[in-house]
Structures are given as structure tokens and as C-alpha cells.
Chains A and B, each alone.
Chain A
């Protein structure tokens, strides 16, 4: 299994509080991604990173920010959590961005905003 660890695995937080989810990899892959998965929507890309300090927005980036200060860590921050951000969050890594690159996914973080 690819070395990807998401933390925490489960979190319940109150509306309006900041939340940070962490993705840690031991594969030294250049590309890292954050997705969210909601019933009826499949997985949707929030933000991605193509190197240290290099990040960009995905399809559903509003309300989220990311940071990558080290190759191995990619942080997803909800500055002020809302109930609409209740979801399962998946981190993924990939060695390359070419068309044959395989992506490896973490186990997910289940976030509930009450």
C-alpha cells in the first residue's frame, strides 16, 4: 500500500470554527490532491499541489485553503467550518501528472460540522 496517512480520521466540529486536515505521504510523490465525497456527487477536487509551495484550485475550492511547506505534507484548512462542508475528505498522491499516472488515495477523513 502507498504510504499515505490522513489525520484525523474522524472529527466533529462546530460551525464557525477553523479545522485543519492533514495528509502525510512517505512516497516522495510530487503531486498531492484533496477531494471531498458527498452522496450523489462522487469525488470532487478541492485543491491540488504540484510541488512545495505550489498549489492551485480545483472544482470546489470555495471555503478551503491549502498549504504545502514540505513534500510530504499537504494541509487542508476550513477557515470557518459550515454545515455544507460536512463530508468525507480524501487525500491522493501521484508521481506524475501525465495521462498514465496512477493516483493513490488515503483512507479518508469523515468531518461533521454541527
Chain B
């Protein structure tokens, strides 16, 4: 299975942009890149996903490298509520099963006031 590599932790200041990197050098052409985050004492929640083109939604932006071997989740203006563990996940498709999500250890994002 394709794997992802993320920094263990990152720190940023409130109201500043945050760029969370993810390396996935063994990604296949059919793998989607998903990001989830987990706030303290809660279950993970979906943030964004993409295949090749950059994507924007109300929560964040996803920038995908042209060779798809890396991606960056961008929080445009971090708030204290964005402090969480962020997971970069490659969504595989078996065609017959329900694989689920393969979580790594993620990046622990710390936001300083």
C-alpha cells in the first residue's frame, strides 16, 4: 500500500496561514489524497480531498504537486480551534471491498495565541 510521511508536529500563530506538508512518493495514478483532522477528545473529521488539481473548500485548500508525490494542506488563517492532529491519507479503491482509511500518526498542529 502507498504510504504517507508527515512531520510529527508543527507550530503556528493564530490568524496566520499554516502549510501542512505530506509526502506520498509511491502514490499510484488512481489514489485520491484525503485529509482528516482530529480535535482533542473527538473522532476524526473530513477536511478535503483531491486527485490532481488544487482544491478549495470552506475549511482549507489542498495544493497537489504536479508529480503528485507530495501535497500541502493550507489553512488560510489559523484559529485556536484548528489545533488538532491532521492526517494525510491515500484513499485506495479495491473495487470490491470497503478498505477503510489507513491512518498514519499525522501531524500535531499547535496554534499559539
**Which chain A residues have a beta carbon within 8 Å of chain B's beta carbons?**
31, 33, 35, 40-45, 48-50, 56, 58, 90, 92, 94, 97-108
Contacts and interface: CB of A to CB of B under 8 A. Distances in A.
A89 to B, nearest CB: 10
Given A44-B103, A97-B98, A100-B49, A90 B44 contact: yes
B43 A92 contact: yes
Interface in B16-57: 30-32, 36, 41-46, 49
A104 B91 CA distance: 15
Given A42-B104, A43-B103, A99-B32, A56 B43 contact: no
A48 B100 contact: yes
B92 interface: yes
Contacts of B92: 99
Interface of B: 30-32, 36, 41-46, 49, 87, 91-94, 97-106
B91 A105 contact: no
A30 B97 CA distance: 12
A108 B98 contact: no
Contact of B100 (A33, A99, A107): A33
B1 to A, nearest CB: 11
Contacts of A108: 41-43
Contacts of A105: 43-45
A56 B97 contact: yes
A99 B91 contact: yes
A31 B91 CA distance: 15
A22 B94 CA distance: 27
22 contacts: A31-B98, A33-B98, A42-B103, A43-B103, A44-B103, A50-B97, A56-B97, A90-B44, A92-B44, A92-B100, A97-B94, A97-B97, A99-B30, A99-B91, A99-B92, A99-B93, A100-B32, A102-B46, A103-B101, A105-B45, A106-B43, A107-B43
